[in-house]
């Protein structure tokens, strides 16, 4: 009998959906449990035949998912389950910017955001949705460019040319294109604390 769960059930466009397949097939004496799977994501994308696939929706909406599973035995045995409106996808994500940060004053740190993020000695917008293009620039209040990256896994460490910047307000500009093709542009300010 086909059965599955998905997680998460509310996501942004471009986030991966995980599946948990708990299909059970009873095999008779001497029969193997060779099982095939067919996932229909409800978005007109190609069907998937993996046991526990992931899927990425590229348009916002609410989707029903169907899993059909069966055996290769003769006669063939199959089962189908459809979960109606099981996952909701919202438009291309968002970025959340901190308004202050405190760089490491004991020496210049790497600008690479460690796995798990949440490093308050770096200034970076945690990108909720995957991007195709990305650019972050930091400026002084006089318009001097002091940091720039095109890698969303990097953030400003509060240093310029090896020197810790003074406590002040700095301006950021971040722009790019989400995985869905939707462009984004955000500007604002951040206070560097020492």
For the chain, count helices (H), then strands (E).
Answer: 0, 14
Output the average pLDDT for the chain: 85
From CA 96, how far away is CA 128, in angstroms rounded?
8
Gap between the Cα atoms of 2 and 24, Å rounded: 7
**List of residues 6+ apart from 13 with CB closer than 8 A:** 57, 58, 59, 60, 89, 90, 91, 92, 93, 129, 178, 179, 180
Of the pLDDT bands very low, low, confident and very high (cuts 50, 70, 90), residue 28 is low
As a whole-number percent, the residues of the chain with pLDDT over 90 amount to: 46
Which pair of structure tokens corresponds to residue 80?
A: 């189908």
The per-residue b/e assignment along 136-173, b for 16 or more CB within 10 angstroms, e otherwise, is bbbbeeeeeeebebeebebbbbbbbeeebbeeeebebe
Q: Are strands 100-101 and 163-164 parallel, antiparallel or unpaired?
A: unpaired
Does 110 lie in the same domain as 82?
A: no
- Kindly tell me the burial class for residue 25, based on how many C-beta atoms sit within 10 Å of its own C-beta (0-12, 13-18, 19 or more): middle
Task: Report the CATH number that the domain containing residue 143 is assigned in CATH.
Answer: 2.60.40
> Does residue 128 contact residue 189 with C-beta atoms inside 8 Å?
no
Residue 141 domain boundaries: 100-192
Q: Assess if residue 56 is contained within a domain.
A: yes
How far is the C-alpha of 143 from the C-alpha of 40, rounded, in Å? 52
Q: What is the mean pLDDT of the segment spanning 86-96?
A: 77
Q: What pLDDT is recorded for position 143?
A: 94
Q: Considering its fold, how many domains does the chain have in total? A: 2
DSSP summary character for residue 44: S
- 95: in domain: no
Of the residues 68, 90, 112, the one at which a domain ends: 90
Using a cut of 0.95, tell me whether the model's pTM lies above it. no
For residue 116, what pLDDT is reported? 55
Both 109 and 141 in a single domain?
Answer: yes
> Residues 113-160: pLDDT tens digits?
766 555 678 888 765 566 788 999 999 999 999 999 999 888 899 999
What CATH number is attached to the domain comprising 31? 2.60.40.10
143 and 172 share one domain: yes
Residues 11 and 80 in one domain: yes
């Amino acid at each position: 009998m086909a059965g599955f769960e998905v997680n998460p059930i509310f996501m942004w466009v471009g986030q991966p959906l995980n599946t948990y397949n708990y299909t059970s097939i009873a095999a008779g004496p001497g029969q193997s449990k060779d099982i095939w799977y067919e996932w229909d994501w409800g978005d007109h994308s190609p069907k998937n035949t993996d046991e526990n696939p992931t899927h990425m929706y590229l348009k916002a909406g609410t989707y029903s998912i169907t899993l059909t599973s069966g055996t290769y035995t003769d006669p063939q045995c199959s089962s189908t389950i459809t979960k109606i409106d099981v996952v909701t996808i919202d438009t291309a994500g968002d970025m959340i910017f901190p308004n202050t940060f405190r760089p490491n004053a004991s020496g210049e740190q790497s600008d690479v955001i460690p796995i798990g993020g949440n490093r308050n000695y770096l200034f970076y917008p945690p990108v909720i949705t995957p991007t195709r293009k990305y650019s972050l620039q930091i400026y002084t209040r006089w318009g001097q460019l002091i940091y720039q990256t095109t890698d969303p896994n990097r953030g400003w460490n509060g240093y310029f040319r090896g020197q810790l910047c003074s406590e002040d307000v700095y301006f950021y500009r971040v722009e790019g294109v989400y995985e869905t093709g939707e462009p984004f542009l955000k500007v604002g300010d951040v206070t560097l604390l020492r």
